[in-house]
Structure 1
Amino acid sequence: MQIADLGDVKLHYRIDGDPDGVPVVFSNSLGTDLRLWDPILPYLPKGLKLIRYDKRGHGLSSMPRGPYSMGALVRDVERLMDLLEIKKALFVGLSIGGMTAQGLAVKRLDLIRAMVLSNTGAKIGTPEVWDQRIAEVKANGIEALADGIMERWFSKGFRSTLELELWRNMLVRQPDEGYAGCSAAISGTDFYTPTSGLRLPTLGIAGSEDGSTPPDLVRETVDLIPGSQFHLIRKAGHLPCVEQPEEYAAVLTKFMRDTGHI
């Protein structure tokens, strides 16, 4: 575990795998920390430099006063990659992490040679929906929303397992202010026009039972980018890397081979 002091924010990050390997940067979803990617790591090929981080207001990163903008989230990972001298990475973003990926690709294509847009969209929800969620979190905490979020995050089968408790606990232990701050960033983001101008290898991944970013939204988003690919993972919700880690890792590995990343 390491901390990067970026001035207005201190980001917790960690690097696994081969320190001299080809870089893969992971950006996780709202309400989770970098442990989101733990289930897939054993299934990834050797020779990769795996960079994960907690976005501002989450995990072990610092929590500047909110609300946050998507520009700030993009700038955070841009500065982290510059600090670590990471270029031409495969960037894997899930949910808000996928929005961050789109924003970073538009701003700094030198940092990204290919990207995976997992369970995300160019625009997610409406400002009204996010305003309501932010107000609820500020009034009653994440705990008040947790059961509904679990239904959107996971398939019915997974919700009947004991493992669900791990992810529910991870959600409710994120800071309320950090969750609300990042919710505001999603609320204010519409990347349909800038994403449609991107030209880089792109893979979309969706979960068949995703109640937060349905497969049609993911497909619509990656279809904005010519030559993109799309993969649907069945029996999975919003976090298919948790429910179907072997398939998720296999899809990532194939995409890396197809694009010459490994």
Structure 2
Amino acid sequence: MAFVQLQDGEMYYEIDGSADDQVLVLSNSLGTDLYMWDSQIASLSKSFRVVRYDTRGHGKSLVTPGPYTIEQLGQDVLALLDALKVERAHFCGLSMGGLIGQWLGIHASERLHKLVLCNTAAKIGGAEMWGPRIETVEQGGEQAMRELQAGALGRWFTPEFARDHADKVKAVTDALAATSPVGYAACCAAVRDADFSKQVSSIAVDTLIICGSRDLVTTVEDAHYLQNHIHGPELSEYYAAHLSAVELGEIFALRVKAFFLS
């Protein structure tokens, strides 16, 4: 097990691939852990040194009092790169991970080769969406996290995928149920407060946007906003819901790999 020491605790990470290859950082969505990327590792690790980590408040990483900010989560990524002595890396983030990617693209572009923003938006929801969820989790604790599983199923996966790949769905939603209520609520606040609508135009690194045609959380329209406000990005739309990386598997890995290697 590998941990990097941050100022206020330890962040858990795993590395796959050759130390001679360029580094690719994978950043998970709200309520998942680094194993969300399992179906991409075999393919991506053939071409990259893949670093995936549990975001603060999730998995085996530190849980500190909230609320968090996306800037704080972005600084955690920079601290991880510093600890691994990585000057520049490719970055691929999904949903909350995509917000972290936007922050890095805006504020730390010198640390990036290329950027992939998956199933994300310049702003994801508002206080009316996040306020009740934060309150529910803060009051209900671990039981509330278990109850979030049912609602996540319909948001995260298309009905066909949920029916045909029950094992993969269970693995991901079980991670949600096991997430720290304190960490989850704190990250909900970070997502609630993040709004890069007026800043994404400053992202100058090569960017790929991936969206799902059945994503009701971060919609195709959200992806088009990013496409229209970031300079010259590529856009790929797939039949998928919110966790497109899980649904698409190898297709997702091949698209990301082609972009990073182009």
What TM bracket, shorter-length normalisation? over 0.9
Q: Which deviates more, 237-246 or 111-120?
A: 237-246
8 Å contact from structure 1 (residues 102, 195) kept in 2: yes
Matches within 5 A, 1:5-20: 5-20=5-20
Cα-to-partner distance string for 1:171-204 (whole Å, 9 max, x where unaligned): 1011111110000000111011221111110000
Q: Which deviates more, 115-124 or 215-224?
A: 215-224
Q: Does 1:21 align with 2:26?
A: no
Q: Does 1:144 align with 2:147?
A: yes
**SS where residue 192 of structure 1 aligns?**
coil
8 Å contact from structure 1 (residues 21, 48) kept in 2: yes
Q: Which deviates more, 60-69 or 81-90?
A: 81-90
8 Å contact from structure 2 (residues 17, 45) kept in 1: no
Aligned residue number for residue 238 of structure 1: 242
Aligned residue number for residue 209 of structure 2: 204
Q: Does 1:35 align with 2:35?
A: yes
Instruction: Name the amino acid aligned to 2:215.
Output: D
Cα-to-partner distance string for 1:82-127 (whole Å, 9 max, x where unaligned): 1112122110010000100111122211211210000001100002
**SS where residue 223 of structure 1 aligns?**
helix
8 Å contact from structure 1 (residues 26, 53) kept in 2: yes
Instruction: Name the amino acid aligned to 1:248.
Output: F
Distance 2:2 2:150 in 1: 32
The percent of aligned pairs where both chains have the same amino acid is: 36
Q: Does 1:185 align with 2:190?
A: yes
**SS where residue 110 of structure 2 aligns?**
coil
> Can you give the 5+ residue segments of structure 2 that lack an aligned partner in the other structure?
none
Instruction: Name the amino acid aligned to 2:151.
Output: G
> Can you give the 5+ residue segments of structure 1 that lack an aligned partner in the other structure?
none
Distance 2:147 2:51 in 1: 32
Q: Does 1:217 align with 2:242?
A: no
Distance 2:209 2:9 in 1: 30
Matches within 5 A, 1:73-152: 73-140=73-140, 141-152=144-155
8 Å contact from structure 1 (residues 122, 195) kept in 2: yes
TM-score by length of 2: 0.94
TM-score by length of 1: 0.94
Aligned residue number for residue 170 of structure 2: 165
Distance 2:50 2:250 in 1: 17
Q: Does 1:247 align with 2:251?
A: yes
Alignment counterpart, residue 260 of structure 2, candidates 249, 256, 260 = 256
Shift of the alpha carbon at 1:130?
A: 0.6
Instruction: Name the amino acid aligned to 1:10.
Output: E
Shift of the alpha carbon at 1:77?
A: 0.7
Distance 2:139 2:41 in 1: 37
**SS where residue 86 of structure 1 aligns?**
coil
Structure richer in helix, relative to its length: 2
Cα-to-partner distance string for 1:218-239 (whole Å, 9 max, x where unaligned): 22123211110100111x2111
**SS where residue 63 of structure 1 aligns?**
coil
Shift of the alpha carbon at 1:40?
A: 1.1
